[in-house]
Amino acid sequence: MTRAFRIGRIFGINIEVDYTWFIIFFIILVGLYTGFFARYLPGISQAARWLVAAVTALLFFTSVLLHELAHSIVAVRSGMKISGITLFLFGGMSKMTDEPKSPEIEFKMAIAGPLMSLALAAIFFAASIALSFASGGGVFGTVFRWLGIVNGMLAVFNLLPGFPLDGGRVLRAGLWKSMASLGDATRIAATFGQGLGVLMIVGGIFAFFSGAGFGGLWLAFIGWFLMQAAQSSYQQLILRQALSGMPVGAVMTEDVDVVPDYLTLDRVVQDYIMGRNHPAFPVQGDDRVRGLICLNDIRSVPRDRWHQVTAGEAAPALSERNTIAPTADAWEALVRMSTENCGRLVVIENGLLRGIVSRTDIMRLMRNRLELGI
């Protein structure tokens, strides 16, 4: 089950909020109320301070969203695919389904986010200064000053040379340009990212025992996340390069069990999901495949209605989201499964069912290739 929910689309890009976002939103909200605004806005009521803190926190995450949108817009205009932007515990993340086609595109895409944050910092600082001259600053001037500070910090932090931070991507672009190897450039940039993560963990623990409290633990936590993200990003590139050019038709299962569209969900669960131990099946009616039913589709129907709802009613119709051509890359299939949160795709050619491909099929292929050294 996905942990994120969509809140809208901007420039054709899905915007999602992960449930962990509420944790960091709460931390920032309380921190603003008890810290910055308690110090610089002592004269307002507690209710007003909570309101100002909430609005400021939302404006901060709007700034994070604009930072990620800058990355995504440059990427889309450069011919890359962006499946969406997710706001989560550590800020925001643009979900790319492929790698940049050149070091120049990588550089432009990477630098766009920090430039957006710097621009926002300048705008907020200018507004704060203008209000300070006009009316002594007040609530709005204080809010804009904080937003200017944190956007400047966001730009500086993201420019640190550790992949997958923006600075790490700038470093990778330079290494890629000089070495002519995306794999080697990613490996080196990811090593910098892991090293930076270790330094942040050590520094955070030291700060915690030196009296920094939660701030030290948070720094260490971010370092741990960066270290893990650097390692997984490099592994993902290796996986992508291994699967690109490998057609789905070479790994799919051709002998496919299909579910009749008239079968009720309780029978689907008993006879197919449990009986054959697979998480998804094509749904067939009138001698043609009409949809693909996954565990999530069944779970979305109240259990007391499983004996009434049929597979044909519960299964989403075939579309680009749950089908793939046998000539498509196995990597594309894996990305689509992850995006749609379904472990299988129906393989269709000229409107006819050719087979089904699953995560297990693809990972089995990868395991065999690694064991054979191919």
Please identify every residue annotated as catalytic.
68
Closest CA to 99 of 91, 88, 110: 110
Q: 3-class SS at 244?
A: coil
Q: Please classify residue 263 by burial: count the beta carbons closer than 10 Å to its beta carbon, then call 0-12 exposed, 13-18 middle and 19+ buried.
A: middle
Burial 38-58 (b: 16+ CB within 10 A, else e): eeebeeeeeeebbebbeebbe
Q: Determine the Cα–Cα distance for residues 153 and 196; give it in Å rounded to an integer.
A: 17
DSSP codes of every residue in 101-118? SSHHHHHHHHHHHHHHHH
278: amino acid identity, one letter: H
Q: Please classify residue 157 by burial: count the beta carbons closer than 10 Å to its beta carbon, then call 0-12 exposed, 13-18 middle and 19+ buried.
A: middle
Task: Describe the strand order of the beta sheet including 13-18 as a list of residue ranges.
Answer: 4-10, 13-18, 82-88, 91-96
Q: Please classify residue 339 by burial: count the beta carbons closer than 10 Å to its beta carbon, then call 0-12 exposed, 13-18 middle and 19+ buried.
A: middle
